[in-house]
Amino acid sequence: MALVYIGLGSNVGDRKANCRRAIEGLNSKGIVVMKISSLYETKPWGLKEQPDFINMAAEVETGLPPEELLAAVKDIEKDMGRDSTVKWGPRIIDFDILFYDDIVVNINHLRIPHPLLHERDFVLAPLSEIAPDKVHPVLKKTVRQLKEELKDA
């Protein structure tokens, strides 16, 4: 089983309920949720003219390889009613695979670790709550260190 960290976010409808429902969706796909962070209300990133987000992070265990895990979370997004929208636009739910064990994946539609996680407080805040000592396999810094560096920037 792989230990994986996933970021979740919602800014459409009942944002908190959407995040809780997404966690239930992971369990329904056989992805075992080990820990979840608190819910964080955050300002939009990228496209600013949209409602605020609720973000959280989850630590999960899965036997799915990375591409199958991506397909599973995309299925949950679709089942919850996510439509294709503009990049970084409003969404009922969004999953990002942040870390998958300590591996690095760089293929067209999947990059792990997530390439922007170290630039996003809405990712680092909830992630640091559940995995402060997780080491980024490329940057060789803990989540706690990345969060501190972002705060100091």
Q: Domain ranges in the chain?
A: 2-152
Q: What is the pLDDT of residue 85?
A: 65
Active site residue 20: no
Active site residue 94: yes
pLDDT digits (tens, 9 = 90+) for 114-123: 999 999 999 9
Q: What is the pLDDT of residue 30?
A: 87
From 15, 20, 52, 94, active-site residue: 94
At residue 49, does pLDDT exceed 80? no
From 91, 121, 133, 144, active-site residue: 91
At residue 21, does pLDDT exceed 70? yes
Long-range interactions of 136-139: CB distance < 8 A, separation 24+: 136/99, 137/99, 137/102, 137/103, 137/104, 137/113, 138/104, 138/113
From 82, 102, 111, 152, active-site residue: 82
Active site residue 101: no
CATH architecture of 2-152: 2-Layer Sandwich (3.30)
From 14, 21, 75, 96, active-site residue: 96
pLDDT digits (tens, 9 = 90+) for 22-43: 999 999 998 999 999 999 999 8
Q: What's the pTM?
A: 0.92
Active site residue 15: no
Return d(Cα 78, Cα 89) in angstroms, integer. 16
